[in-house]
Structure 1
Amino acid sequence: MTCLLAYNIIEKGNDGDVLWSWAFPSLKDEQRKYIEDKCHLSDLKFSLYGKFKNWFYIHVTECNQAILPNIENIGIVVWAKDFKPDQYLKLASLLSRVYNESGDPTKVLQFYLSVVTKDITPNNNGSLLFKEFCSQKTSKSSRIKELIKMFGLEVILIYNTLLLEKRLIVYHHSLPVLLEWLKSFPYFIAHRKIDDHLIPWFEVNDQDISELRSRRNYIAGCCDNSVFLRSDLYDVLVNLPAKEITISPQSKDKLPVTKTHKDIALFMEQLADSEMDEEKVVSSITAKTKELISLIRSMSVKGEDMRDYISLEKIKERNFSPVMENFIVQLASTENIYFSNN
C-alpha cells in the first residue's frame, strides 16, 4: 500500500477534551486544524472521508474503557494519496479495533507497517481481513444501479455533466449519507480519473466558495440547503432526498441532450433492471462511453506532434444536428482532441 502516507490516533476523554495522542510518521498543525474544524470529533461513532491536499479517512468509535479508562471514544485518521474510501475506511476501522483491544499504540503501528510493507502475518485476523478486502474490485461497492433507478431517464443529466466536465453539486442533509452516495458518481465516467475534481463536502462560506471558484469543474457534496439558491456555483444540482436534478438557467446550452443521450439513458435503465452486478454495469456504461469517443476519434487525424486533431469541417460532413455538433465539440475538448483549421 505505497499510497498510504500516515495515520493518527485521536482520543476523546470523559471530560470532553480531544487529544491527538499518536501520529506516524508525523502530523502538521494545518492538518490537525482542518480535521478539527471540519469534522465533528465529539460524535460517538462515525466514518467519513475528505480531502486536505491529500485524502483522509476517519473512523471514530466508542472506546473499550476496560482497556482505555477515562477515554470515551477513539478516532483513527488514515492519510493516503489516492481515493479508495472503502479500503481506507476499512483500514481505519481495523486500526481502531487493534487499539481498542490492546490499548497499545505500538501494536497499531506494527499492524499499520505490516499493511504498508505488505508483510501480512497469517495469524493476524485483522491483516487477513484487510488482505481479503483489498482483493475485491472497488466497483463492487458502487451503488450506480440504485442511482439510475432513483433518477430514471434523468440520470443522463448526471452522466452528461461529468462527461463534459461541468460543475456538479450533490446535496444531502446527512453527511454520512452524502458521502456514501457520492463515492459512486465517478463510476459514470470510469474511463477517466476524476478523483482530482471530487470535493466530498463543502460549506457555503467564503473560504469554501473561493475554492470552488478556483476550479473549472468539480463534483462537490454539500449538506447546506442554502446551496439551492446558489445557481452560480453549479451547472447541475442533484438533490438526493428529493430525487430531483436541477440545471442552472445559465447552463442549459452547455449541456446538450441529443437522441444519442436518450438512447444511453434507456440503456442505463435496462442495466439497472438487469441481474448484472455493479462491476458489469460500470463496465457496460464505460463501453458505451468509449463508443462515443471512438466516433469522434474516427473524424480526427494525428498531427506532427502526435496529438489528435479534428476540424469543424469534418464534423459537418457527417450531417449531425446542431445539438449533436455542440455535444461533439465539447466532448472532443474534454478528451484532449484539438481543433484545426483544415
Structure 2
Amino acid sequence: MDYLAFLLAILYLYKARCEEIFWDTTVKLAKNMSLECVYPSTDTLTQMEWFKIKQLERESIAIFNPTYRVILREPYADRVYFSNLTMTSNDMTLTFHNASEVDVGFYSCFLHTFPHGTWEKVIQVVPSDGFEIAVPSNSHTVSEPGKDVTLTCQPQMERLLQEVMWEKIQPHQIDLLTSCNLSQGRSYTSKYPRQILSNCTQRMRRAFLTMPHVTASDSGLYRCGFKASTGETETFMMRLTITNSKTNNQYILFVAAGAVLLLLVFLITTAIVVSRKRKRRRQKRGLFKKEYWDTQNRATNNYRSPAPASQPSDGAGEDIYVNYPTFSRRPKTRV
C-alpha cells in the first residue's frame, strides 16, 4: 500500500508540473507595477486574498475582509498595497513598489462572494524584455460613446481552426477578452471588467467581438488570433478610437473659423496693397501731366515772372508732391 501511494503521489506531482496555467492578463515587470483585479458583479464581498502561484503551493500575499480589513503577509508587507480599496469598492488591484526579478510569475486574485461563491483572476508577470510589443494595426475603427462596436476578422489559412482568441493590447499589459475552443465548441469566460459578446461555433470561418455602449476607455489596440489543428497561427491587429462628437464639432468649427479669419486677413491685406499701388500710379500720371503742361507754357510765353504778385505767403498754393522738380527763378538776360 505504501508503494502504491508513493506511485500515486509521483503521478500527481508530475501532472501538476505538466499542467499549463491559464491566465487572464499578462503584465510587464516594472519597478512600480499594478496587478488589476476588478470584480465585475455587484455581489457582496465576504473575503478576498492575493496569492503567488508556485509549482505545488500558493503563497499568501495579502488578505482583505470587510470586517477585519487588510493583512499583509511577510515578506510582502513593505512592498505591496491595495491601490483603490474601500469598504464598498470592488477594485482589489494590488500595487508593487521596488519590484524585481523575483516577482516574475503567476498571481491569483481570489474572491469569496455572496451569493455566487468564488471568483478568481490569474495574472502572469513576465520580464520586461520578454513582453510582446504591439505591432501596427491592420485596420482602424472610429466610433462615438454609447454606440455598439463590432470588430471582425477572418483568417487567410484554409486549415481547420482549433482556437480563436481576442486580446486587448496595452503598453504595460495584455488582457484576454475571450478564448474559444472550436473543437469543443466552448468559450472561456473572461475576467475583463466589461461586457463582451463573441461567437464560438464549430467550423466557423469568421470571428467577431462586440462591445455594447462603448466609452473612451475602450479605445486601444485589439488582437484577434487563430490557431489551426496543425499548430499554424495567424493574427490580426485592429485599432479602435472612441471620439467625442461634441468635441469634434467644436474643433471643426474652431478650425473653420480660423480659416475664414485667415482668408479675411489675406483679402484685406491684398486690397490695401492694390489700393496703394493704384494711388502711386495716379500720382505718377498726375505728376507727368503737370510737368508736360508747365513745359508747354514756358515754351509759349518764353519767360517766367521772377516773383508773381499774387503768390500767397502762407504756402497754400504749393504742390503736394514732394518729388516735384524745381527750376531756377533768375530772369533770362536779354541780348
TM-score > 0.5, shorter chain as reference: no
**Which has more strand, going by share of residues?**
2
TM-score (norm 1): 0.28
Structure of greater Rg:
2
